[in-house]
Structure 1
Amino acid sequence: MTKYRLNRLFNPRSGRALDVAVDHGAFHEHAFLAGIEDMPATVATLIDAGPDAIQLTLGQAPLLQSAPGKDKPGLVLRTDIANVYNSPLESPLHSVHVPDAIEVAVRLDAVAVCVNLLDLPGHPEVREQCIRSILALRTDAERYGMPLMIEPLVMQTNSDKGGYTVDGDTRKIVTLVRQARELGADLIKADPTDDIGDYHLVVQAAAGTPVLVRGGGRVDDRTLLERTQAVLAQGARGIVYGRNVIQHPHPAGITAALMAVVHDDATVDDALALIGGEG
């Protein structure tokens, strides 16, 4: 039954997906709210732009699911809350999941749920919390036929601003992606590697589980589209981008450009033309 919901996530023609993440408000970091201060307007804009899915929290998901019509984007429901992005960091660090998240996801007609698998230097207890959350969610996900997207995030200390940033070390990402696969992920949302040419190793570690590539912080449009093209060529099944869409001056335009690359194998220049140039 799990695979049935994924039929509403992946485009039937390309077999790929674009999921726009708008769950940033759950992480209690003011900087993450840029571009999504007005959530009803943000979600309405994205519905019109038409990505394959929008990733939301249980508090904001009704903004999507209350919209009429059967052709709106699917819902990917964020199921956990963490405080690892704050600057300065809070103490103690934590990652906790919504206890009835899978039942909530079923009631909200989600196509999948998303949960972190965090690897933080010096804080193995946070990864343990994530593993316990994943195992608890996995039990209910199996029962209700709800696809479980695990988000393995290898982090490194941010010496300039405090807190943590993404670590793009291929070996570390591959190791954590492999653990996500061993924990029973139906989908894996993983960061790009520093050497983008290594990304096939991440796909290999997922061992047939679809890999969707995480977007991270804002980059210029050409860089974003070139990176997207590169990871798709190495076997990624799609992308999960947040700030590169919601903080873009033209969210609908960049969505159209990304959809063209993901589903139609458009060239970067052709995709750029859909948004009128580089941002």
Structure 2
Amino acid sequence: MKISPKARMNRLFTNGGCLDVAIDHGVCNEPSFMVGLEDMPRVVDSLIRAKPDAIQMAYGQADLLQSRPEKDKPALVMRLDMGNPYNATRHRTMWSMLQNADEPIIGALEMDAACVVVNLFMLPDEPEMFRQCVENISRVRADCHRYGMPLMIEPLVMLSNEIRGGYQVDGDADKIVTLVRLAAEMGADIIKADPTANPEDFHRVVEAARVPVLVRGGGKEDLKTVLMKSAALMAHGAKGMVYGRNIYQHANPGAVVRALMSMIHDGADGEAAWQVYNRG
């Protein structure tokens, strides 16, 4: 019997939208991602005060959120996998694996997560990594079905390391739409998708998904640029964002959260969100 994921989904989405702040970057084994995450108790404390809808973490740090007594704290989204495509130098063997292959979502159940997230990497000339991702998702999907746990799939179409080096997004809409469609076919409840190079193409991603789509942030950019791009993607059907470095590597993460929340939940456009940020 399938247990509906609706109850947990309701903890993530308010008025149909969600801001998920990703701080699960410790699984990436990439030093540049750790800037701003050196003191995880402080980071989690500041985000709880900022009140996004969710915080995305791995099992080993999730207690920092779930041990807190506040009833209105953000929901937990738990990262279940790890891999090695994040470094500037390509590794001899590329891989992606679940952190617990025997019982993939046991830690998420233990920590009362509202959702789990797994990658679907599409790298040039890396079919074995792609196969591993499909296998990971298949294992997790079965457990999510059994326990009513929403599954967020993260399709990542990446450029060759020779082009720019290290975890760089290929914004080709055709490639993104095709991989998002595969994630939908595999039973995603939520899809965390790359932005298309032209934001006006993003509606195609939403149409392919048929489930809520949250935009993935990627590398840190100028904040006003981020807000304007986010507004354009929201206008073409995104239900929110999963942003990490554009929040936790910023000088005022709480103000960035408030700006993005105004966009997701109050309908603010990019300029209005920028004003929210400037008010601190």
TM band (smaller chain): over 0.9
Counterpart for residue 115 of structure 2: 112
- Is contact 1:40–1:63 with CA below 8 Å preserved after alignment? yes
1:46 is aligned to 47
Equivalent position to 1:139, from 136, 139, 142? 142
Change (3 A) 1:71 1:176: same
1:47·1:72 contact (CA, 8 Å) conserved in 2? Answer: yes
Structure 1 residue corresponding to 2:277, chosen from 257, 262, 275 = 275
Q: Which runs of 5+ in 1 are unaligned?
A: none
Amino acid corresponding to residue 246 of structure 2 in structure 1: N
TM-score, with length taken from structure 2: 0.95
Q: How many residues align?
A: 275
**Does the 8 A contact of 1:79 with 1:113 survive in 2?**
yes
Other-structure match for 1:94: 95
1:210 corresponds, among 197, 208, 212, to 212
Matched, 1:174 2:177: yes
SS in 2 for 1:274: helix
Partner of 2:234: 232
Structure-1 residue corresponding to 2:65: 64
After TM superposition, give the deviation of residue 220 of structure 1 in Å: 1.4
Q: Percentage identity across aligned positions?
A: 52
Task: Give the SS at the match of 1:165.
Answer: coil
Matches of 1:148 and 1:130 in 2, distance apart? 14
Contact 1:113 1:149 in 2 (8 A): yes
Distance 1:236 1:141 in 2: 24
Counterpart of 1:245, as a letter, is I
Q: Quick check: 1:223 aligned with 2:225? A: yes
Q: How many Å apart are 1:90 and its aligned residue?
A: 2.2
Note if contact 1:88-1:161 (Cα within 8 Å) is conserved in structure 2: no
Aligned residues of 1:102 and 1:144 also touching (Cα < 8 A) = no
Specify the SS of the correspondent of 2:179.
Answer: helix
Deviation at 1:121, TM superposition (A): 0.2
Q: Does structure 1 conserve the Cα–Cα contact (< 8 Å) formed by 2:52 and 2:74? A: yes
State the 1:131 CA deviation.
0.3
Provide the secondary structure at the position in 1 that maps to 2:60.
coil
Give per-residue Cα distances to partners, 1:40-72, cap 9 Å, x unaligned: 111111010000000000101111101112100
Task: Work out the CA distance in 2 between the residues paired with 1:124 and 1:93.
Answer: 10
Match of 1:23 in 2: 24
> For residues 164 and 251 of structure 1, do their structure 2 counterparts lie closer, same or farther at Cα, with a shift above 3 Å needed?
closer
Distance 2:22 2:73 in 1: 15
The aligned counterpart of 2:199 is 196
CA distance 1:15–1:64, change in 2 (3 Å): same
Cα RMSD of the aligned pairs, angstroms, is: 1.4
Contact kept, 8 Å, 1:76 with 1:111, in 2: the verdict is yes
Specify the code of the residue in structure 1 equivalent to 2:140.
L
Equivalent pair of 1:83/1:93 in contact (CA under 8 Å): yes
**Superposition deviation, residue 31 in structure 1:** 0.9
| TM-score, length of structure 1 as denominator length | 0.95
Please tell me the residue identity of whatever aligns with 1:152.
Answer: P
1:7 is paired with a residue whose SS is: helix
SS of 1:89 mapped into structure 2: coil
User: Structure 2: which amino acid aligns with 1:142?
Assistant: H
Superposition deviation, residue 89 in structure 1: 2.3
Counterpart residue identity of residue 143, structure 1:
R
SS at match of 2:246: helix
Alignment partners' CA distance in 1, 2:271 and 2:211: 31
How far apart in 2 are the matches of 1:19 and 1:161? 27
State the 1:226 CA deviation. Answer: 1.1
Structure 2 unpaired stretches of 5+: none
One-letter code aligned to 1:50: K
Alpha-carbon shift at residue 160 of structure 1 (Å): 5.8
1:80-128: per-residue Cα shift (whole Å, max 9, x none)?
0100111222221110012223121111110000000000100011010
> In 2, distance between residues paired with 1:153 and 1:277?
34
How many angstroms does 1:161 deviate by? 5.5
> Which one is further off, 160-169 or 96-105?
160-169
